[in-house]
Copies of this chain bind each other. A is one copy, B any other.
Amino acid sequence: MQADKQDVLKRLNYIEGHLGGVRKMIEEDKYCVDILRQTYAIRKAIEKLESLLVDSHLHTCVPEGIAEGRGDEIIQELVQLYNLAGNR
């Protein structure tokens, strides 16, 4: 994990807090459209977190791995990440 760890953990705190809010809304039988607006915001926050991790991966582990002769393995992982990112 090479991305700014404090930034990543702060975003994770935010997501966990937001999920706690959703739990409360469900327990209190709030209107489902209002709950969905919150879960979409959480999904966006996770995608943003992923984007940071991918950026960091591409700028640190990828060049390092290639320099160390593990290029094939690194490329295989990138194919997989790309497909996961697009939910395919």
Instruction: List residues 56-88 of chain A with CB under 8 A from any CB of chain B.
Output: 56-59, 61-63, 66, 71, 75, 77-88
Residue of chain B at shortest CB distance from A85: B86
Residue of chain B at shortest CB distance from A56: B32
Q: How many copies does the complex hold?
A: 4
Distance from A15 Cβ to chain B, minimum over Cβ atoms (Å): 7
Measured in the bound complex, the distance between the Cα atoms of B19 and A59 in whole Å is: 25
Distance from A55 Cβ to chain B, minimum over Cβ atoms (Å): 6
Contact partner of A25 among B1, B81, B88, CB < 8 A? B1
Distance from A2 Cβ to chain B, minimum over Cβ atoms (Å): 7
Asked whether A58 lies within 8 Å of B79 as measured between CB atoms, the reply is: yes
Known: A16-B23, A63-B71, A81-B82. 9 other contacts (CB 8 A): A9-B23, A12-B19, A32-B54, A33-B61, A35-B53, A42-B46, A47-B87, A51-B82, A58-B82
